[in-house]
Amino acid sequence: MTRESGDDRHVIEARDVVLSFGQTPALRGASIGVAAGEIVAIMGPSGSGKSTLLHCLAGILVPDSGEIRFDGRRVDTMTETERSSLRRDRFGFVFQFGQLVPELTAEENVALPLLLAGARREGALREARPWFGRLGLDGLERRRSGELSGGQAQRVALARGLVARPKILFADEPTGSLDTLTGEQVMDLLVAGAREQGTTVVIVTHEARVAASADRHVLVRDGRVTSLVPDRVSS
C-alpha cells in the first residue's frame, strides 16, 4: 500500500483520538507517537484511558474521531479484515493474565501466531522451541497452562508475542498478576527479546518498576496524554 502522510519518525501514532463507551468518555483527544525500536510505557491511574489508548493503537478499538497511523498508514479507516490481518502479521500482544489457550501445550501456544499466519505445524513448532531455553522454560514445552506457574505462563505468553518477530509488541499490564521478583524477571526478558529483534514496545502499566524498563514514559489522565517527555528521536 502507498504510505500516507505522517511523521516519519514514528512507526505508530495516535492523533487527537476521541472514544466514548456510550455516554462515558474514555479518550478525550489523546495523542502519542512512538519511534521504531523504542520502548514506551503508558502510565496512569485505573480508569484513566491508558488501556483504551493501547487498544486503539493496536487496531482493536476504532476511535470516534482522530487518527491512528502505523508506518504512515491510517489504521482507523481500515476494514475489520484489514485490521485483523495487521494484528496477526505485524503486531504481537502480551496481556496481564497471559490468556494462553488451555487446550494447547506451551509450545503450541507459542507457535500459535505462526500457525494463524499459515505456517505448517512442524515448522511453527521448530520456531517456537528455542524460546523455551531463552526464557528458562526448558522441559515445559508439552505442559498445558494449568500445569504452569503464573511466571512460567507469562513467559510463554511473552514468547508467543515475540515469536513472529512483530514490528510492535503491545503489552497490557504484563506483570500485573505476578509477584515483584517474577515481574522483574519477565520485564527483563521482554526488554531483552525486544532489543534483540528491534521490536517497538508499547507497555501499559501503573507500576513505576515496570515503567523503569522503558525508554520513555507518557502519563494518561482523564483520557488525555497530560505529561509527555520529549521524544527520544528529535527532529
219 occurs within a structural domain: yes
Domain contains 14: yes
Question: What is the pLDDT, as a whole number, of residue 229?
Answer: 53
Place of cell 487496531: 59
For residue 220, give its domain range: 10-228
Q: Per-residue DSSP letters for 142-153?
A: T-BGGGS-HHHH
Phi-psi region of 192 (alpha: psi -120 to 50; beta: other; left: phi over 0): alpha
In a domain, 235, yes or no: no
pTM: 0.89
Strand segments (E) across 48-122: 65-70, 73-74, 91-94
Does 5 reside within a domain? no
Give the Cα separation of 210 and 205 in Å (integer). 7
Enumerate residues 6+ apart whose C-beta is below 8 A from 225: 30, 31, 32, 53, 218, 219
Distance, C-alpha 19 to centroid of its chain: 20
Could you give the number of structural domains in the chain?
A: 1
133 lies in a domain? yes
* Cα atoms found within 13 Å of the Cα of residue 99, Cβ hemisphere only: 11
Report the CATH number that the domain containing residue 26 is assigned in CATH: 3.40.50.300
pLDDT at 59: 96
Q: What is the pLDDT of residue 61?
A: 97
Q: What is the Cα–Cα distance from 88 to 92, expressed in whole angstroms? A: 8
| Per-residue pLDDT, 5 | 47
Question: Which residues are CB-neighbours of 49 under 8 A, at least 6 positions away?
Answer: 26, 27, 28, 30, 220, 222, 223, 224
**233 within a domain of the structure (yes/no):** no
Residue 202 lies in a domain: yes
Give the mean pLDDT per block of 10 residues along the chain (235 residues). 57 97 95 95 91 96 97 95 94 86 96 94 96 92 93 92 95 87 88 93 91 92 76 43
* 88 is a domain residue: yes
